[in-house]
Amino acid sequence: MLSGESIWIFVMLWVTPSLSARESQPSEYDYVSFQPEMRRQYQSGRFYSRPAQCVDIPQDLALCHGVGYNKMVLPNLLDHETMVEVKYQASSWVPLLSKNCHPGTQVFLCSLFAPVCLDRPIYPCRWLCEAVRDGCEPVMQYFGFPWPEMLRCDQYPREDVCIAGTSPNATQAPRPRTLKVTVREVKKEGGDRKLVLRKKKALKRGPIHKKDWGDLVLYLKNGANCPCHQLEQLNGQFLVLGRKVKTQYILTAIHKWDKTNREFNRFMRKVKKSKCPKPHSVFM
């Protein structure tokens, strides 16, 4: 999911090592055992029925397994005290990862659901939360889910020590494409659904390279056998949102083009308001 990106602890001028490098290089951020005084510091006055402990991230915690580190602390930063509760609550966020709505989505969510083992809690940077929210909220709202209050971005630090989602050498988030299209045909390809487009008109940002424009194909990842009522009838035009991930254009949302439909017009307003984070706003 992270495509090899490093996970960073952000301290003003990016002076700390990446978390993924800790296994090969010793540092002051190596995993530590939780002594009683560390527990008190970690819990910050909250009452838990169990002491804080460092545990392996299980393979069936699909949201965070393979995120870039192998251990997490319980209770987590969302006050989930047991692994059963963590897995149950985290499972509802797994489908969002396949939408590729922002490259930092997994790091942001896992910094809360499966925080790295340190001697004090490290929250995600506020700008990371805002970037993920701005990229993913339109997709969530299309499916009827608002950005949750528990992930309100103003509760996270602007500075100090915080979890950041990309390396300081990164330049820009993948820009979303918004298109008005007609669909020629829909095929199954492996576990994905493949949309072959006939006519395309770009509505908002993220210019598509000329060599890709003529035979533009969108992929609904893992959607070969999923019901999609929007694609039951291919006549007419569609509004689609997508991102380029490596060599493929990934479909993140689709809606029948219908200006008389209240839901469609509400979705269009959200699309027009959504912003892709710029380098200067992401990298301080």
Q: What percent of the chain has a predicted confidence (pLDDT) above 70?
A: 64
Q: What is the mean pLDDT of the chain?
A: 71
Rounded to whole angstroms, the Cα distance separating 47 from 51 reads 9
Highest mean pLDDT among 154-158, 167-171, 235-239, 241-245: 154-158
Q: Which residues contact 91 (CB under 8 A, 6 or more apart)?
A: 62, 63
Domains and CATH numbers, the chain: 8-164 (1.10.2000.10), 177-280 (2.40.50.140)
- 109 near 84, Cβ under 8 Å? no
Task: For residues 214-219, give the mean pLDDT.
Answer: 75
Specify the pTM.
Answer: 0.51
> Tokens for 70?
């192998």
- Compute the CA torsion angle 235, 236, 239, 243 (nearest 10 deg): 40
Partnered with residue 11 across adjacent β-strands are: 161
Mean pLDDT of 30-45: 39
Residue 42 in contact with residue 52, Cβ under 8 Å?
A: yes
Residue of higher predicted confidence among 100 and 223: 100
CA angle 45, 51, 56 (to 5 degrees): 125
Check residue 29 and give its pLDDT. Answer: 28
Average pLDDT over residues 241-255: 74
Backbone angles phi, psi at 268, to 5 degrees: -60, -40
Q: What are the tokens at 133?
A: 């929210």
How does pLDDT run across 58-95, given as a tens digit for each residue? 999 999 998 888 999 999 999 999 999 999 999 999 98
pLDDT for the residue 191: 78
Given a cut of 70, whether residue 126 has pLDDT beyond it is yes
**Which of 144-148, 150-154, 218-222 comes out lowest in average pLDDT?**
218-222
* Residue 259 predicted with pLDDT over 90: no
Query: What tokens does 189 get?
Result: 């390809």
Contacts of 19 (CB under 8 A, 6+ apart): 6, 7, 8, 9, 29, 68, 69, 116
